[in-house]
Amino acid sequence: MQVKMEPSWAAKLQDEFEKPYFEGLVSFVKSEYATQKVFPPGKLIFNAFDHCPFDQVKVVILGQDPYHGPGQAHGLCFSVPDGVPFPFSLQNIFKEIKDDLGIPVPKSGNLERWARQGVFLLNATLTVRAHQAGSHQNHGWETFTDRVIHLLAEERENLVFMLWGAYAQRKGQFIDNSRHLVLQSVHPSPLSAHRGFFGNHHFSKTNEYLVANGKSPINW
């Protein structure tokens, strides 16, 4: 099956595209886009991959679902396009960056600038029905994104994995801590951020690790 995706990722995942579960997933997603309002726009489903080639990944941030409100999701977890108000979790991410590194809160919540520096902003599920959180879970996306994380963890060295919340931590529980830096805390959601996301210093810890391993830090 031909899937439009950045070439280095497409080559790594070609075997996955041929598996029966993925063909079923494609059928489901096509049907949903044809009959429902679904986010992100179809051409942006693999936006995280397109902005961050396999060999350029330095940091992995794992989300769960795309945003399900109009105009929010554009294929990068926690990110919104220019001009879109910040969702609460993104507000809290920027607050922690400001407290951790002294970087002012930006005017835009578009995190493409992170992706271009090697921050892979992956949702576990890459599509969602409008206003229905979790509506595309358990249709095959999780199997696909598990494979993506395995490829990074097994074929790359000295990556940083940011796993926020129990869902992300379960999904990344196999990652070898001796090969990569695995940073865990509660989710930046308003329901939990005050219980350990604020003050986790994940952004400064990431840059310290990258520099220690001969990589350029991220300009958060």
Compute the distance between CA of residue 158 and CA of residue 59 in angstroms, rounded to an integer. 9
Asked about 65 being catalytic, the answer comes back as yes
In the set 50, 65, 82, 176, the catalytic residue is: 65
3-state secondary structure of 167: helix
Q: Which two tokens stand for residue 89?
A: 């979790």
Backbone torsions φ then ψ of 210, nearest 5 degrees: -60, -45
> Cβ distance 71 to 81 under 8 Å?
yes
Q: Which residues contact 33 (CB under 8 A, 6 or more apart)?
A: 42
Taking alpha carbons only, the member of 154, 171, 144 closest to residue 1 is 144
Q: Which two tokens stand for residue 149?
A: 């994380």
Name beta bridge partners: 39: 128
> Which residues are designated catalytic?
65
